[in-house]
Structure 1
Amino acid sequence: MQYRTLGKTGYQISTISFGAWAIGGTWGETRDEDSMHALHRALDLGVNFIDTADVYGDGHSERLIARLRRERSDSFYVATKAGRRLNPHTAAGYNRENLRSFIERSLRNLEAETVDLLQLHCPPSEVYERDEVYGILDDFVREGLLRAYGVSVETVDEALTAIEHSNVASVQIIFNAFRMKPAEQFFAAAREREVGIIARVPLASGLLTGKLTGKTTFEQDDHRNFNRNGEAFDRGETFSGVDYETGLAAVQRLRPLVADGATLAQFALRWILMFPDVTCAIPGARNPRQVEDNVAAADLPALSEEQMRRVQQVYDELIREQVHALW
């Protein structure tokens, strides 16, 4: 496992970390025992950063992480998110009273006194411009509710706006071989401001595993079934906003680039780590085998210039027109 510094936090975190959305819900059926085995295996293999949110299973994901802390003595960092519990989800809801309530609820779920990293959870775009919101978070740091804070964003423009505020320590953004815009327009600015980058949706909701086909079906409570067109939340969260059939075609173009002994998922994760400004990728895992496959990507050899060029070519020819201008 390799480790990189998460921006202003100073945390040294594993380049392949653990995304805990899937163990909370909206990814089809999960079993808590499988989820716990996956979390334990992640720690065994050197993962020391787990990303969750208060809405993942209405706090269920956070509570599983609390259980992990009870069962293990290992030290690891937990990032959670706040804001999406608002109904309606409006900019006005990002006020001191609501944010305190969300954070205190997460602390109870996590059985913790302080949140290692609190992230605003893809709020309305205008929230990123509101100085008072960052001021509230600064106060919470001084109180000891938070050690650090960052943002989770949908768009590059939101990311650029957020990091104008000096105490934003990290940005979580969708970045993968089907969503390349952050590398072109955001990474240099983040580096200049010492902001960590957490690459979320690194496998494009499973498309970049190479395991999905035109005949694959998804359970009713799986967002890949009910959110393909943004019916429930931002369309970019599902398959990175890429049309499913187009994504399958792009995967076929990528398969020949994968070295013997590696999987397409590992190749896709190693591609992300080729960008030194990325602190970590946070693929999900619902069982130990998925964790092992994900973590192995960190130890793959660097991709060649030709491999990187051909991934870019696939993006330019099949994907760019669908996603680049939107996020």
Structure 2
Amino acid sequence: MLKRVLASAVAGAAIGVAVTVPAYAAPFTTTASNLNIRSDAFLSASVVKVLAGPTSVEVDCQKSGDSVTVGSRTTTWWAHLPAHSGYATVAYIDTPGAKLPGVPDCPQDPPQTGDVTLADVQAMFGSRIANPSLVQTGLPSLNQAMRDANINTARRKAAFLATLVHESRLEYNIREIGDTRLYGGRGYIQLTGDFNYGPAGRYFGIDLLGNPELARSLQWSAPIARWYWTVARNINPYADALDMGRVNAAIGYPAGSEDTRRCDSFKNALRYLTGSVPSGVKCTRPAKMSGDTSKLTRTQFEALTKSPGTVG
């Protein structure tokens, strides 16, 4: 049965703290020890808390995300636990079905229709668009790559475009200035290293190791950016969670002042796309992601988000 949640709101108001509390929440019990509570409904999303044992929780909404199988039950549904500021897979909640009964779906960042235009990116990033005609030439292929990668919400578009404008100024054929390495930075996402050129080439069936200049061709620059965003890494969930710190870590450079600059560009893009910057944007990354993660595999990178011995 749903019940009104008021106590925490009253307590917060009493001490002058702004508290966002759902109108209703339903009580459930988790079933696992060391259960990860994540920032979003994805196994790659950051862990915000670990519940040590079976715990009584209140759920205000649920959303579809990554599939989790426990025993004979498989579910893609994740419960939002407002008291813990995150999501737990329904697979570890005491309910017989794949979805919680009587709990509404969480509101979603709605998909945005329409391609990104030159005027859009100029409004988002200003003088960072240094060569408008070149950016315009590449936009059809870049928009196609965004559709292929499901970069179709304001948060995902803002994170992707903010990343690329810092990597390449949104110029598809750029070569990293002064980088004379055979597998140095090229293209929209500045593909770097044989550990990326090799897998990306195999994915597309082209010889990037033998012909690395393909990485900054109009034909392949945008698809390679999409490959890195969704295959080499799984970055959309970080964008969904407004976690620009982890977006930056996933790109693979060491933490520093560049993180702040990219996060500012992310906020500018969100402001342009939605009219405001939502609360909860994270600009910093966890300490264990502060180094150069570029050579990690996707599995190794995602392992950084999970503590040993935890589930979910």
The alignment's TM-score, normalised by the length of structure 1, stands at 0.25
Instruction: Determine which structure has more spread, i.e. the larger CA radius of gyration.
Output: 2
The alignment's TM-score, normalised by the length of structure 2, stands at 0.26
Larger relative contact order (Cα-Cα within 8 Å, sequence gap ≥ 6) = 1
